[in-house]
Structure 1
Amino acid sequence: MHISLQLPTFDYDDIGGSVARIARTADDAGFYSMWVMDHFFQLGGDLLGPPENNMLEAYTTLGYIAAATERMKLGTLVTGVIYRNPAMLAKIISTLDVLSGGRAYLGIGAAWYEREANALGFTYPSTKERFEWLEEALQIVHQMWDEGNNGPYEGKHFQLKETMNHPQPISQPHPPIMIGGMGEQKTLRMVAQYADATNLFARAGLDVLKHKLDVLRQHCEDVGRNYDDIEKTCLATAFDGDLQTPESLVKLCQDLRGIGIEHVIFNMPHPETIKPLETISEQVIPAVSDL
């Protein structure tokens, strides 16, 4: 089982120094990957804080983290499809992959944070239309990452005259595509059809997660996809609420692995103190590495 780090907050006195220190520590400590949110306002809530709290632009931050690290894979959890033209997004991920030595993921979803979209002037169409955008974006990314296909793309919402993309990503056949969300009719169907990984939420509980994976398995059968080829990931919070001890984190990982989750991404309060990263490195990663 892989253990990874999500960094969703940036309220540090020295933002750049703290982010670099967290990233280097996680890289040295054996975390498999590192993720940031693709938002412009903070999300609210007791863990993350009010919308006015600091939030860094995701891909600038990932480029900075890439330069500070050597091994961890890097991605957004997850990019809202409304924030960037899909061709530009494919180019951004290609660039991150090339400059990081083949460590990029593309995390993507249909977007949901209407307040920040309206505040900053992003188009925020209906749920139905955002999922249409998402499907077309996935098709465009696949076409741009097919070096032999420089043809046009004609969609309902996006039209490209060419899909040339040089340099192509280092990752083969392309950077893994992770779709975030648990919707059964659209999101998980798109995972089966277009993605290499799914990201679910641990807070939903084991029974719900198992059901979602069963739905994904059926979608895979429907589209002729090998279910085992899709990486099953889950986002969880460490050292908050019921997950206060390394032992409870190990137990959570064991339970998640038992239903088919292969990769757990943890966020946590105050990673800038470094202590929670060291604790996970010393007491959790070794205990679950063979699961």
Structure 2
Amino acid sequence: MKIGLQIPDFSTPRGPERLGAELATVARTADDAGFEYIAVMDHFFQIPAVGPAEREMLEAYTTLGYLAACTSRAALLTVITGTVYREPGILAKIVTTLDVLSKGRAWLGIGAAWNEQESRGLGIPFPPVAERFERLEEALQVCLQMWHGDESPYHGKHYQLERPLNSPQSLSRPHPPIMIGGGGEKKTLRLVARYADACNVFAGRDEARKLDVLRQHCEAVGRDYDTIYKTVYYAFNTSHGAQRIIDDLGTLAGLGFDAAIGGVVNVWDVSPVEFIGSEIIPVVADF
């Protein structure tokens, strides 16, 4: 099993003046420690599960571009971009840019979006959930078309692109991997089966059932279930000790998950990241 770090909170002990340097230290430590992925949330306000909306939050893709320069091996992605936050043609260009500048390390993590508060706050259209899923599917189609070099017009229900040109193309071939986040059984996992290279669901939310439903969607569309990379959001708390985390990850690997991605408690102290690198990553690599 592979391990990924997601950084959900940018309220560092020494404040914004030191944030850039401290973020670089965390990312380099994770990169050197063997973390396979380094991710950030794609939110503009802090989310309730982490803290009040007013807490510091960096824009995701600017941050990933910075982290690309701070690291050399880990894949870089959002967990997870809300599809309504950026027009799909621009999103394809953003992820392509990240991929080229990171020498082929970008992923597209995307979902239907849920945070109405930040969307309304910043003037981002936030349509009803059914429309957000329609827009998500069209965004996936646009990104794939652009990454395949098809410049023919795209005419969808919500998006119209006269010439979806993408130059330069990504270094990742055939395109940056697409991860769809969320465990919705009727829509999200159906889109995973049809379009995605990877899924991401939450640990502790009936994840075994989610994989069973994904398998059913794959069968319905003629997709090989084993070609989908299964990731789970898992919060790493090293105060619980290495063995508990190893046991948890072993259980998840037994269900069929390939990677665990999540926040690390006290990440700005860096030592928990080093602990995971030395005590957990070498063990779970054999799961």
Place the TM-score, normalised by the shorter chain, in its bin.
over 0.9
Q: Choose the corresponding residue for 1:86, options 64, 85, 88.
A: 88
TM-score, normalised relative to structure 2: 0.97
Structure 1 residue 50 displacement after superposition: 1.2
Superposition RMSD in Å: 0.9
Q: Deviations over 1:174-222 (max 9, x none)?
A: 0000000000110000000000000000131xxx111110110111111
Aligned-partner Cα distance in 2 for 1:244–1:62: 30
Structure 1 residue 239 displacement after superposition: 1.1
- 1:24 equivalent in alignment to 2:22: no
Aligned-partner Cα distance in 1 for 2:280–2:26: 17
Q: Deviations over 1:216-253 (max 9, x none)?
A: 0111111111111100000111117xx71111110011
Secondary structure at the counterpart of residue 183 of structure 2: coil
Which 5+ residue runs of structure 1 have no aligned equivalent? none
Aligned-partner Cα distance in 2 for 1:166–1:219: 34
Aligned-partner Cα distance in 1 for 2:48–2:160: 36
The residue correspondences of 1:139-158 to structure 2 (distance < 5 A) are 139-147=141-149, 149-158=150-159
Structure 1 residue 266 displacement after superposition: 2.5
Equivalent in the alignment of 2:5: 5
Aligned-partner Cα distance in 1 for 2:34–2:284: 12
- 1:275 equivalent in alignment to 2:271: yes
Aligned-partner Cα distance in 1 for 2:209–2:103: 36
Amino acid at match of 2:100: V
Amino acid at match of 1:224: G
Q: Deviations over 1:20-69 (max 9, x none)?
A: 00000000000001000000111123xx2211110000000000000000
Q: Choose the corresponding residue for 2:100, options 92, 98, 118.
A: 98
Secondary structure at the counterpart of residue 282 of structure 1: helix
Amino acid at match of 2:230: K
Equivalent in the alignment of 2:122: 120
Aligned-partner Cα distance in 2 for 1:132–1:53: 31
Give identity over the alignment, percent. 53
Amino acid at match of 1:80: G
Do 2:80 and 2:111's aligned partners in 1 also have CA atoms closer than 8 Å? Answer: yes
Secondary structure at the counterpart of residue 139 of structure 1: helix
Equivalent in the alignment of 1:227: 225
Secondary structure at the counterpart of residue 283 of structure 1: helix
Do 2:109 and 2:179's aligned partners in 1 also have CA atoms closer than 8 Å? Answer: yes
Runs in 1 of length 4+ with deviation above 2 angstroms? none
Secondary structure at the counterpart of residue 237 of structure 1: coil
- 1:34 equivalent in alignment to 2:38: yes
Aligned-partner Cα distance in 1 for 2:70–2:253: 31
Aligned-partner Cα distance in 1 for 2:131–2:274: 43
- 1:43 equivalent in alignment to 2:47: yes
Q: Deviations over 1:102-145 (max 9, x none)?
A: 00000000000011111110000000000000000000001000
Bigger mean CA deviation after superposition, 266-275 or 216-225 = 266-275
Aligned-partner Cα distance in 1 for 2:19–2:265: 15
Aligned-partner Cα distance in 1 for 2:115–2:151: 34
Secondary structure at the counterpart of residue 203 of structure 1: coil
Which 5+ residue runs of structure 2 have no aligned equivalent? none
The residue correspondences of 1:249-264 to structure 2 (distance < 5 A) are 249-264=245-260
Amino acid at match of 1:8: P
Secondary structure at the counterpart of residue 204 of structure 2: helix
Aligned-partner Cα distance in 1 for 2:140–2:257: 23
